[in-house]
Structure 1
Amino acid sequence: MKEAGFGVLLAIQFLTRLPVPLACPWTPGTRRWAARVYPLVGMLIGSLVAAVGTLLEAALPLPLLTLALLSLWVALTGGLHLDGLMDLADALGSNAPPEKRWAIMKDPQVGSFAVLALVFLLAWKAALLWTLLAAGASPWWLVPVIALGRLAAVGLLVSVPAARAEGLAHAWQRSLGRGDLVWAVAPVLVLLALMPGAVGLIPALVVFVALYGLAVRRAFGGINGDIVGAAIEGSELWLLLMAWVSCAA
Protein backbone atom coordinates (compact mmCIF):
# COMPACT_ATOMS: atom_id res chain seq x y z
CA MET A 1 0.00 0.00 0.00
CA LYS A 2 2.96 2.29 0.55
CA GLU A 3 3.91 1.95 -3.12
CA ALA A 4 0.32 2.75 -4.11
CA GLY A 5 0.33 5.90 -1.99
CA PHE A 6 3.61 7.08 -3.43
CA GLY A 7 2.33 6.21 -6.90
CA VAL A 8 -0.71 8.47 -6.46
CA LEU A 9 1.49 11.34 -5.29
CA LEU A 10 3.96 10.71 -8.12
CA ALA A 11 1.13 10.89 -10.68
CA ILE A 12 -0.09 14.19 -9.19
CA GLN A 13 3.44 15.59 -9.28
CA PHE A 14 3.98 14.44 -12.84
CA LEU A 15 0.63 15.42 -14.37
CA THR A 16 -0.26 18.59 -12.47
CA ARG A 17 1.16 21.68 -10.82
CA LEU A 18 -0.68 20.97 -7.59
CA PRO A 19 1.77 21.20 -4.68
CA VAL A 20 2.97 17.85 -3.33
CA PRO A 21 5.76 18.69 -0.85
CA LEU A 22 7.20 15.19 -0.76
CA ALA A 23 9.97 13.45 -2.68
CA CYS A 24 8.40 10.30 -4.10
CA PRO A 25 10.64 7.31 -4.84
CA TRP A 26 11.08 6.51 -8.55
CA THR A 27 10.78 2.72 -8.56
CA PRO A 28 9.05 0.19 -10.80
CA GLY A 29 6.30 -0.18 -8.20
CA THR A 30 5.60 3.53 -7.81
CA ARG A 31 5.71 4.03 -11.59
CA ARG A 32 3.23 1.20 -12.04
CA TRP A 33 0.80 2.68 -9.53
CA ALA A 34 1.25 6.16 -10.93
CA ALA A 35 0.19 4.97 -14.39
CA ARG A 36 -2.75 3.09 -12.91
CA VAL A 37 -4.13 6.28 -11.38
CA TYR A 38 -3.52 8.58 -14.35
CA PRO A 39 -7.27 8.71 -15.07
CA LEU A 40 -7.98 9.44 -11.39
CA VAL A 41 -5.65 12.42 -11.57
CA GLY A 42 -7.50 13.44 -14.73
CA MET A 43 -10.75 13.28 -12.75
CA LEU A 44 -9.17 15.51 -10.11
CA ILE A 45 -8.14 18.10 -12.72
CA GLY A 46 -11.53 17.91 -14.41
CA SER A 47 -13.39 18.24 -11.12
CA LEU A 48 -11.45 21.35 -10.16
CA VAL A 49 -12.14 22.97 -13.55
CA ALA A 50 -15.79 21.89 -13.50
CA ALA A 51 -16.32 23.17 -9.95
CA VAL A 52 -14.97 26.58 -10.93
CA GLY A 53 -17.18 26.49 -14.01
CA THR A 54 -20.24 25.74 -11.89
CA LEU A 55 -19.43 28.66 -9.59
CA LEU A 56 -18.83 31.12 -12.43
CA GLU A 57 -21.37 30.12 -15.09
CA ALA A 58 -24.06 32.42 -13.71
CA ALA A 59 -21.66 35.33 -13.27
CA LEU A 60 -19.70 35.36 -16.53
CA PRO A 61 -20.78 35.59 -20.16
CA LEU A 62 -20.01 32.42 -22.09
CA PRO A 63 -16.89 33.70 -23.92
CA LEU A 64 -15.26 34.78 -20.65
CA LEU A 65 -16.32 31.59 -18.89
CA THR A 66 -14.77 29.53 -21.68
CA LEU A 67 -11.50 31.46 -21.50
CA ALA A 68 -11.40 31.21 -17.70
CA LEU A 69 -11.93 27.43 -17.74
CA LEU A 70 -9.38 26.83 -20.48
CA SER A 71 -6.84 29.02 -18.66
CA LEU A 72 -7.36 27.08 -15.43
CA TRP A 73 -7.14 23.79 -17.36
CA VAL A 74 -3.73 24.77 -18.76
CA ALA A 75 -2.53 26.21 -15.45
CA LEU A 76 -3.33 23.04 -13.50
CA THR A 77 -1.16 20.98 -15.85
CA GLY A 78 1.53 23.61 -16.28
CA GLY A 79 1.31 23.26 -20.05
CA LEU A 80 3.35 20.05 -19.77
CA HIS A 81 1.54 18.22 -22.56
CA LEU A 82 1.42 21.32 -24.74
CA ASP A 83 5.21 21.23 -24.74
CA GLY A 84 5.08 17.69 -26.10
CA LEU A 85 2.62 18.75 -28.78
CA MET A 86 4.89 21.60 -29.87
CA ASP A 87 7.96 19.37 -30.07
CA LEU A 88 6.02 16.81 -32.09
CA ALA A 89 4.69 19.49 -34.45
CA ASP A 90 8.19 20.81 -35.16
CA ALA A 91 9.48 17.29 -35.83
CA LEU A 92 6.65 16.37 -38.18
CA GLY A 93 6.62 19.75 -39.89
CA SER A 94 10.27 19.42 -40.81
CA ASN A 95 9.60 16.58 -43.29
CA ALA A 96 13.04 15.33 -42.26
CA PRO A 97 14.25 11.71 -42.00
CA PRO A 98 13.48 9.93 -38.70
CA GLU A 99 16.90 10.58 -37.10
CA LYS A 100 16.62 14.30 -37.83
CA ARG A 101 13.09 14.34 -36.42
CA TRP A 102 14.41 13.00 -33.13
CA ALA A 103 17.04 15.73 -33.00
CA ILE A 104 14.41 18.38 -33.70
CA MET A 105 12.15 16.99 -30.97
CA LYS A 106 14.97 17.29 -28.43
CA ASP A 107 15.89 20.82 -29.51
CA PRO A 108 14.75 23.30 -26.81
CA GLN A 109 14.17 26.01 -29.41
CA VAL A 110 10.59 26.58 -30.59
CA GLY A 111 9.91 26.54 -34.33
CA SER A 112 7.09 27.94 -36.41
CA PHE A 113 5.24 24.62 -36.59
CA ALA A 114 5.22 24.43 -32.80
CA VAL A 115 3.70 27.89 -32.51
CA LEU A 116 1.06 27.10 -35.12
CA ALA A 117 0.16 23.82 -33.41
CA LEU A 118 -0.18 25.54 -30.02
CA VAL A 119 -2.32 28.38 -31.35
CA PHE A 120 -4.66 26.15 -33.33
CA LEU A 121 -5.02 23.54 -30.59
CA LEU A 122 -5.94 26.13 -27.96
CA ALA A 123 -8.25 27.91 -30.42
CA TRP A 124 -10.04 24.67 -31.26
CA LYS A 125 -10.26 23.70 -27.59
CA ALA A 126 -11.77 27.07 -26.74
CA ALA A 127 -14.22 26.88 -29.65
CA LEU A 128 -15.34 23.35 -28.79
CA LEU A 129 -15.63 24.11 -25.08
CA TRP A 130 -17.68 27.22 -25.89
CA THR A 131 -19.89 25.22 -28.26
CA LEU A 132 -20.31 22.43 -25.71
CA LEU A 133 -21.42 24.83 -22.98
CA ALA A 134 -23.64 26.73 -25.42
CA ALA A 135 -25.41 23.43 -26.19
CA GLY A 136 -26.47 23.30 -22.54
CA ALA A 137 -23.86 20.81 -21.36
CA SER A 138 -22.69 20.95 -17.78
CA PRO A 139 -19.06 21.90 -17.07
CA TRP A 140 -18.85 18.46 -15.42
CA TRP A 141 -18.55 16.95 -18.89
CA LEU A 142 -14.91 18.01 -18.59
CA VAL A 143 -14.32 15.33 -15.96
CA PRO A 144 -14.63 12.34 -18.34
CA VAL A 145 -12.90 14.25 -21.14
CA ILE A 146 -9.81 15.00 -19.06
CA ALA A 147 -9.80 11.59 -17.33
CA LEU A 148 -9.99 9.76 -20.66
CA GLY A 149 -7.19 11.93 -22.02
CA ARG A 150 -4.92 10.48 -19.34
CA LEU A 151 -6.22 6.99 -20.05
CA ALA A 152 -5.07 7.52 -23.65
CA ALA A 153 -1.53 7.96 -22.33
CA VAL A 154 -1.70 4.66 -20.43
CA GLY A 155 -3.12 2.94 -23.50
CA LEU A 156 -0.20 4.11 -25.61
CA LEU A 157 2.39 3.15 -23.00
CA VAL A 158 0.95 -0.36 -22.85
CA SER A 159 0.26 -0.94 -26.55
CA VAL A 160 2.94 0.96 -28.52
CA PRO A 161 6.65 0.28 -27.95
CA ALA A 162 9.10 3.03 -27.16
CA ALA A 163 11.04 4.07 -30.21
CA ARG A 164 14.28 4.08 -28.23
CA ALA A 165 15.50 2.34 -25.09
CA GLU A 166 15.82 5.63 -23.24
CA GLY A 167 13.70 8.44 -21.80
CA LEU A 168 10.56 8.62 -19.69
CA ALA A 169 8.28 6.59 -21.93
CA HIS A 170 10.72 3.69 -21.95
CA ALA A 171 11.10 3.89 -18.15
CA TRP A 172 7.33 3.78 -17.65
CA GLN A 173 6.93 0.89 -20.08
CA ARG A 174 9.43 -1.31 -18.27
CA SER A 175 7.09 -1.24 -15.28
CA LEU A 176 3.77 -1.75 -17.08
CA GLY A 177 1.72 -4.62 -18.47
CA ARG A 178 -1.76 -4.99 -19.89
CA GLY A 179 -3.12 -5.71 -16.42
CA ASP A 180 -2.18 -2.17 -15.42
CA LEU A 181 -4.41 -0.85 -18.19
CA VAL A 182 -7.31 -2.72 -16.59
CA TRP A 183 -6.55 -0.95 -13.31
CA ALA A 184 -6.54 2.39 -15.12
CA VAL A 185 -9.86 1.68 -16.86
CA ALA A 186 -11.70 0.66 -13.68
CA PRO A 187 -12.27 4.15 -12.17
CA VAL A 188 -13.29 5.46 -15.59
CA LEU A 189 -16.04 2.82 -15.78
CA VAL A 190 -17.30 3.94 -12.37
CA LEU A 191 -17.33 7.56 -13.56
CA LEU A 192 -19.21 6.68 -16.75
CA ALA A 193 -21.78 4.77 -14.68
CA LEU A 194 -22.48 8.09 -12.97
CA MET A 195 -22.53 9.93 -16.31
CA PRO A 196 -24.15 7.43 -18.71
CA GLY A 197 -24.41 10.08 -21.43
CA ALA A 198 -20.62 10.05 -21.70
CA VAL A 199 -20.31 6.32 -22.42
CA GLY A 200 -19.90 7.06 -26.13
CA LEU A 201 -16.55 8.69 -25.37
CA ILE A 202 -14.99 5.26 -24.76
CA PRO A 203 -15.20 3.97 -28.36
CA ALA A 204 -14.12 7.42 -29.56
CA LEU A 205 -11.01 7.13 -27.38
CA VAL A 206 -10.25 3.63 -28.65
CA VAL A 207 -10.37 4.90 -32.24
CA PHE A 208 -8.08 7.81 -31.40
CA VAL A 209 -5.47 5.68 -29.61
CA ALA A 210 -5.45 3.07 -32.40
CA LEU A 211 -5.02 5.62 -35.20
CA TYR A 212 -2.55 7.78 -33.30
CA GLY A 213 -0.48 4.75 -32.32
CA LEU A 214 -0.36 3.60 -35.94
CA ALA A 215 0.63 7.08 -37.14
CA VAL A 216 3.50 7.53 -34.68
CA ARG A 217 4.83 4.05 -35.39
CA ARG A 218 5.07 4.95 -39.05
CA ALA A 219 6.57 8.38 -38.43
CA PHE A 220 8.92 7.59 -35.53
CA GLY A 221 9.00 3.84 -35.01
CA GLY A 222 7.28 4.15 -31.63
CA ILE A 223 6.65 6.58 -28.80
CA ASN A 224 8.56 8.83 -26.44
CA GLY A 225 7.48 11.21 -23.69
CA ASP A 226 6.68 14.07 -26.08
CA ILE A 227 4.54 11.81 -28.25
CA VAL A 228 2.59 10.59 -25.22
CA GLY A 229 2.09 14.17 -23.99
CA ALA A 230 0.85 15.24 -27.43
CA ALA A 231 -1.59 12.30 -27.35
CA ILE A 232 -3.16 13.67 -24.18
CA GLU A 233 -3.76 17.03 -25.83
CA GLY A 234 -5.00 15.49 -29.06
CA SER A 235 -7.35 13.06 -27.35
CA GLU A 236 -8.84 15.83 -25.21
CA LEU A 237 -9.58 17.85 -28.33
CA TRP A 238 -11.15 14.84 -30.06
CA LEU A 239 -13.21 13.97 -26.96
CA LEU A 240 -14.47 17.56 -26.66
CA LEU A 241 -15.77 17.22 -30.20
CA MET A 242 -17.42 13.88 -29.39
CA ALA A 243 -18.91 15.32 -26.20
CA TRP A 244 -20.48 18.14 -28.20
CA VAL A 245 -21.85 15.64 -30.73
CA SER A 246 -23.38 13.64 -27.86
CA CYS A 247 -24.96 16.70 -26.25
CA ALA A 248 -26.22 18.16 -29.54
CA ALA A 249 -27.78 14.89 -30.71
Structure 2
Amino acid sequence: MTRSLGFGVLLALQFLTRLPVPVQCPWNADTSRWAVRCYPLVGLLLGGILALTGRLLEGWLPTPMLALLLLSLWVALTGGLHLDGLMDVADALGSNASLERRWAIMKDPHVGSFGIIALVFLLVWKGTLLLALLESGVSLAVLVAVLALGRFGAVALLVLSPAARPEGMAWAWKQHLGHRDLLLALWPLPLCFWLLPGGMVLFAALVPFLLLYGLAMIRAFKGINGDIVGAAIEGGELWLLLVAWIWWSSAMG
Protein backbone atom coordinates (compact mmCIF):
# COMPACT_ATOMS: atom_id res chain seq x y z
CA MET A 1 0.00 0.00 0.00
CA THR A 2 2.78 2.45 0.94
CA ARG A 3 4.52 1.86 -2.39
CA SER A 4 1.29 2.34 -4.36
CA LEU A 5 0.52 5.50 -2.39
CA GLY A 6 3.98 6.91 -3.13
CA PHE A 7 3.69 6.19 -6.83
CA GLY A 8 0.15 7.58 -6.79
CA VAL A 9 1.36 10.90 -5.37
CA LEU A 10 4.06 11.09 -8.05
CA LEU A 11 1.60 10.19 -10.82
CA ALA A 12 -0.78 12.92 -9.65
CA LEU A 13 2.08 15.43 -9.64
CA GLN A 14 3.17 14.36 -13.12
CA PHE A 15 -0.33 14.60 -14.50
CA LEU A 16 -1.60 17.77 -12.82
CA THR A 17 1.54 19.92 -12.65
CA ARG A 18 4.73 20.87 -14.41
CA LEU A 19 6.80 20.26 -11.30
CA PRO A 20 9.78 18.03 -12.18
CA VAL A 21 9.24 14.41 -11.12
CA PRO A 22 12.20 12.44 -12.54
CA VAL A 23 10.78 9.04 -11.60
CA GLN A 24 9.24 6.41 -13.86
CA CYS A 25 5.96 5.50 -12.15
CA PRO A 26 4.07 2.29 -12.95
CA TRP A 27 0.47 2.67 -14.08
CA ASN A 28 -1.83 0.02 -12.67
CA ALA A 29 -5.11 -0.22 -10.77
CA ASP A 30 -3.57 0.60 -7.39
CA THR A 31 -1.29 3.46 -8.44
CA SER A 32 -3.91 5.12 -10.67
CA ARG A 33 -6.49 4.87 -7.88
CA TRP A 34 -4.12 6.46 -5.37
CA ALA A 35 -3.21 9.14 -7.93
CA VAL A 36 -6.84 10.26 -8.17
CA ARG A 37 -7.19 10.14 -4.39
CA CYS A 38 -4.21 12.50 -4.20
CA TYR A 39 -5.62 15.14 -6.55
CA PRO A 40 -6.66 17.40 -3.62
CA LEU A 41 -3.22 16.89 -2.06
CA VAL A 42 -1.62 18.22 -5.23
CA GLY A 43 -3.98 21.20 -5.07
CA LEU A 44 -2.89 21.72 -1.47
CA LEU A 45 0.75 21.81 -2.58
CA LEU A 46 0.12 24.20 -5.49
CA GLY A 47 -2.00 26.48 -3.33
CA GLY A 48 0.71 26.43 -0.68
CA ILE A 49 3.32 27.52 -3.22
CA LEU A 50 1.08 30.40 -4.35
CA ALA A 51 0.22 31.43 -0.80
CA LEU A 52 3.87 31.34 0.32
CA THR A 53 4.98 33.33 -2.73
CA GLY A 54 2.30 35.92 -2.08
CA ARG A 55 3.22 36.12 1.57
CA LEU A 56 6.92 36.64 0.82
CA LEU A 57 6.30 39.33 -1.80
CA GLU A 58 3.42 41.11 -0.08
CA GLY A 59 4.51 44.67 0.61
CA TRP A 60 7.40 44.43 -1.85
CA LEU A 61 5.27 44.68 -4.99
CA PRO A 62 2.27 46.84 -5.85
CA THR A 63 -0.90 44.84 -5.25
CA PRO A 64 -1.95 44.67 -8.94
CA MET A 65 1.51 43.40 -9.88
CA LEU A 66 1.42 40.81 -7.12
CA ALA A 67 -1.99 39.57 -8.31
CA LEU A 68 -0.66 39.25 -11.87
CA LEU A 69 2.45 37.46 -10.64
CA LEU A 70 0.39 34.96 -8.65
CA LEU A 71 -1.88 34.34 -11.63
CA SER A 72 1.14 33.80 -13.90
CA LEU A 73 2.69 31.37 -11.42
CA TRP A 74 -0.68 29.61 -11.12
CA VAL A 75 -0.75 28.98 -14.88
CA ALA A 76 2.94 28.03 -15.01
CA LEU A 77 2.66 25.44 -12.25
CA THR A 78 -0.12 23.60 -14.10
CA GLY A 79 1.32 24.16 -17.56
CA GLY A 80 -2.02 25.43 -18.80
CA LEU A 81 -3.31 21.84 -18.88
CA HIS A 82 -6.76 22.68 -17.53
CA LEU A 83 -6.96 25.86 -19.60
CA ASP A 84 -6.56 23.72 -22.70
CA GLY A 85 -9.54 21.66 -21.59
CA LEU A 86 -11.54 24.81 -20.96
CA MET A 87 -10.86 26.09 -24.48
CA ASP A 88 -11.77 22.76 -26.08
CA VAL A 89 -15.07 22.59 -24.19
CA ALA A 90 -15.88 26.23 -25.00
CA ASP A 91 -15.24 25.68 -28.71
CA ALA A 92 -17.42 22.57 -28.73
CA LEU A 93 -20.29 24.21 -26.86
CA GLY A 94 -20.04 27.42 -28.84
CA SER A 95 -20.37 25.59 -32.14
CA ASN A 96 -24.04 24.77 -31.45
CA ALA A 97 -23.49 21.70 -33.65
CA SER A 98 -24.56 18.07 -33.41
CA LEU A 99 -23.08 15.81 -30.74
CA GLU A 100 -20.67 14.12 -33.16
CA ARG A 101 -19.52 17.47 -34.50
CA ARG A 102 -18.97 18.79 -30.96
CA TRP A 103 -16.77 15.79 -30.23
CA ALA A 104 -14.78 16.40 -33.41
CA ILE A 105 -14.29 20.06 -32.45
CA MET A 106 -13.15 19.09 -28.95
CA LYS A 107 -10.51 16.76 -30.39
CA ASP A 108 -9.27 19.35 -32.90
CA PRO A 109 -5.84 20.63 -31.73
CA HIS A 110 -6.60 24.09 -33.13
CA VAL A 111 -8.21 26.70 -30.89
CA GLY A 112 -11.31 28.54 -32.10
CA SER A 113 -12.75 31.92 -31.25
CA PHE A 114 -14.97 30.61 -28.45
CA GLY A 115 -11.98 28.98 -26.80
CA ILE A 116 -9.95 32.18 -26.92
CA ILE A 117 -12.85 34.21 -25.53
CA ALA A 118 -13.32 31.72 -22.67
CA LEU A 119 -9.59 31.78 -21.89
CA VAL A 120 -9.39 35.58 -21.85
CA PHE A 121 -12.45 36.04 -19.67
CA LEU A 122 -11.41 33.34 -17.22
CA LEU A 123 -7.91 34.78 -16.75
CA VAL A 124 -9.22 38.34 -16.45
CA TRP A 125 -11.77 37.28 -13.85
CA LYS A 126 -9.24 35.21 -11.92
CA GLY A 127 -6.76 38.07 -11.90
CA THR A 128 -9.43 40.56 -10.85
CA LEU A 129 -10.64 38.35 -8.01
CA LEU A 130 -7.07 37.76 -6.83
CA LEU A 131 -6.58 41.52 -6.76
CA ALA A 132 -9.86 42.00 -4.88
CA LEU A 133 -8.92 39.36 -2.30
CA LEU A 134 -5.47 40.89 -1.77
CA GLU A 135 -6.92 44.37 -1.38
CA SER A 136 -9.55 43.07 1.06
CA GLY A 137 -6.83 41.62 3.27
CA VAL A 138 -8.15 38.05 3.01
CA SER A 139 -5.66 35.43 4.18
CA LEU A 140 -3.70 33.90 1.30
CA ALA A 141 -4.56 30.51 2.79
CA VAL A 142 -7.71 30.91 0.70
CA LEU A 143 -5.61 29.86 -2.30
CA VAL A 144 -4.72 26.58 -0.59
CA ALA A 145 -8.40 25.81 -0.09
CA VAL A 146 -9.42 26.93 -3.59
CA LEU A 147 -6.85 24.77 -5.40
CA ALA A 148 -7.40 21.73 -3.19
CA LEU A 149 -11.19 21.93 -3.52
CA GLY A 150 -10.97 22.53 -7.27
CA ARG A 151 -9.15 19.22 -7.66
CA PHE A 152 -11.48 17.46 -5.27
CA GLY A 153 -14.23 18.55 -7.65
CA ALA A 154 -12.37 16.75 -10.45
CA VAL A 155 -12.35 13.58 -8.34
CA ALA A 156 -16.09 13.92 -7.72
CA LEU A 157 -16.78 14.18 -11.45
CA LEU A 158 -14.56 11.21 -12.25
CA VAL A 159 -16.25 9.03 -9.64
CA LEU A 160 -19.88 10.12 -10.00
CA SER A 161 -20.30 11.07 -13.68
CA PRO A 162 -20.42 8.61 -16.59
CA ALA A 163 -17.66 8.61 -19.17
CA ALA A 164 -18.99 9.93 -22.45
CA ARG A 165 -17.00 7.42 -24.49
CA PRO A 166 -14.79 4.39 -23.74
CA GLU A 167 -11.61 6.27 -24.61
CA GLY A 168 -9.28 8.95 -23.31
CA MET A 169 -7.75 9.76 -19.94
CA ALA A 170 -10.97 10.25 -17.99
CA TRP A 171 -12.23 6.83 -19.06
CA ALA A 172 -8.85 5.29 -18.13
CA TRP A 173 -8.93 6.88 -14.67
CA LYS A 174 -12.54 5.80 -14.09
CA GLN A 175 -11.85 2.10 -14.65
CA HIS A 176 -10.50 1.63 -11.14
CA LEU A 177 -12.56 4.17 -9.18
CA GLY A 178 -15.44 3.75 -6.75
CA HIS A 179 -17.26 5.81 -4.14
CA ARG A 180 -14.67 4.83 -1.52
CA ASP A 181 -12.04 6.71 -3.53
CA LEU A 182 -14.09 9.89 -3.34
CA LEU A 183 -14.21 9.58 0.45
CA LEU A 184 -10.47 8.92 0.65
CA ALA A 185 -9.80 12.00 -1.50
CA LEU A 186 -11.25 14.10 1.33
CA TRP A 187 -8.30 13.46 3.64
CA PRO A 188 -6.22 16.60 2.81
CA LEU A 189 -9.21 18.93 3.19
CA PRO A 190 -9.27 19.21 7.01
CA LEU A 191 -5.85 20.86 6.75
CA CYS A 192 -7.37 23.46 4.40
CA PHE A 193 -10.13 24.18 6.88
CA TRP A 194 -7.60 24.45 9.70
CA LEU A 195 -5.53 26.93 7.68
CA LEU A 196 -8.63 28.88 6.63
CA PRO A 197 -11.35 29.20 9.25
CA GLY A 198 -14.59 29.38 7.34
CA GLY A 199 -13.23 27.13 4.61
CA MET A 200 -16.31 24.93 4.93
CA VAL A 201 -18.17 27.75 3.20
CA LEU A 202 -16.12 27.06 0.08
CA PHE A 203 -16.73 23.32 0.35
CA ALA A 204 -20.47 23.94 0.59
CA ALA A 205 -20.32 26.31 -2.41
CA LEU A 206 -18.52 23.69 -4.50
CA VAL A 207 -21.43 21.23 -4.28
CA PRO A 208 -24.04 23.17 -6.34
CA PHE A 209 -21.36 24.11 -8.88
CA LEU A 210 -20.44 20.45 -9.43
CA LEU A 211 -24.08 19.41 -9.60
CA LEU A 212 -25.02 22.01 -12.20
CA TYR A 213 -21.82 21.60 -14.19
CA GLY A 214 -22.06 17.81 -14.21
CA LEU A 215 -25.68 17.85 -15.34
CA ALA A 216 -24.88 20.39 -18.07
CA MET A 217 -22.01 18.27 -19.40
CA ILE A 218 -24.07 15.09 -19.38
CA ARG A 219 -26.79 16.90 -21.29
CA ALA A 220 -24.35 18.39 -23.80
CA PHE A 221 -21.93 15.47 -24.24
CA LYS A 222 -23.67 12.45 -22.61
CA GLY A 223 -20.86 12.25 -20.07
CA ILE A 224 -17.39 13.51 -19.25
CA ASN A 225 -13.92 13.28 -20.70
CA GLY A 226 -10.53 14.70 -19.75
CA ASP A 227 -11.21 18.13 -21.25
CA ILE A 228 -14.49 18.40 -19.34
CA VAL A 229 -12.76 17.49 -16.07
CA GLY A 230 -10.01 20.04 -16.75
CA ALA A 231 -12.56 22.74 -17.49
CA ALA A 232 -14.32 21.85 -14.22
CA ILE A 233 -11.11 22.55 -12.30
CA GLU A 234 -10.77 25.98 -13.91
CA GLY A 235 -14.43 26.83 -13.53
CA GLY A 236 -14.54 25.53 -9.98
CA GLU A 237 -11.52 27.61 -8.97
CA LEU A 238 -13.06 30.73 -10.47
CA TRP A 239 -16.37 30.10 -8.68
CA LEU A 240 -14.61 29.51 -5.36
CA LEU A 241 -12.57 32.71 -5.73
CA LEU A 242 -15.80 34.62 -6.28
CA VAL A 243 -17.47 33.00 -3.28
CA ALA A 244 -14.38 33.68 -1.14
CA TRP A 245 -14.38 37.35 -2.07
CA ILE A 246 -18.12 37.74 -1.41
CA TRP A 247 -17.97 35.86 1.90
CA TRP A 248 -14.84 37.35 3.44
CA SER A 249 -15.34 40.89 2.20
CA SER A 250 -18.85 40.80 3.68
CA ALA A 251 -17.54 39.34 6.94
CA MET A 252 -14.82 41.99 7.19
CA GLY A 253 -17.28 44.72 6.32
TM range (shorter): over 0.9
Q: What letter matches 1:87 in structure 2?
A: D
Counterpart position of 1:68 = 69
Counterpart position of 2:128 = 127
Deviation of 1:62 (Å): 0.7
1:80 correspondence with 2:81: yes
- Deviation per CA, 1:24-63, whole angstroms, max 9, x where unpaired? 1111111100010100000000000110100111101110
Counterpart position of 2:102 = 101
Counterpart position of 1:169 = 170
Root-mean-square deviation (Å): 0.8
SS at match of 1:185: coil
State how far apart, in whole Å, the 1-side matches of 2:204 and 2:64 are: 30
Counterpart position of 2:26 = 25
1:193 correspondence with 2:194: yes
Counterpart position of 2:43 = 42
Query: 1:215-226 to 2 correspondence within 5 Å?
Result: 215-226=216-227
Change in CA separation of 1:194 and 1:48 when aligned onto 2, cut-off 3 Å: closer
Query: 1:153-168 to 2 correspondence within 5 Å?
Result: 153-168=154-169
Count of residue pairs brought into register by the alignment: 249
Q: What letter matches 1:240 in structure 2?
A: L
Counterpart position of 1:245 = 246
State how far apart, in whole Å, the 1-side matches of 2:213 and 2:144 are: 22
Deviation of 1:141 (Å): 1.1
1:212 correspondence with 2:213: yes
- Do 2:150 and 2:234's aligned partners in 1 also have CA atoms closer than 8 Å? yes
SS at match of 1:222: coil
State, as a whole percentage, how many aligned pairs show the same letter: 64
When the two structures are superposed, what TM-score results if normalisation uses the length of structure 2?
0.97
Change in CA separation of 1:154 and 1:97 when aligned onto 2, cut-off 3 Å: same
Q: What letter matches 1:160 in structure 2?
A: S
State how far apart, in whole Å, the 2-side matches of 1:192 and 1:133 are: 19
Deviation of 1:186 (Å): 2.0
Q: Which runs of 5+ in 1 are unaligned?
A: none
- Do 2:161 and 2:214's aligned partners in 1 also have CA atoms closer than 8 Å? yes
When the two structures are superposed, what TM-score results if normalisation uses the length of structure 1?
0.98
- Do 2:10 and 2:25's aligned partners in 1 also have CA atoms closer than 8 Å? yes
Deviation of 1:132 (Å): 1.0
Deviation of 1:226 (Å): 0.2
State how far apart, in whole Å, the 1-side matches of 2:224 and 2:109 are: 19
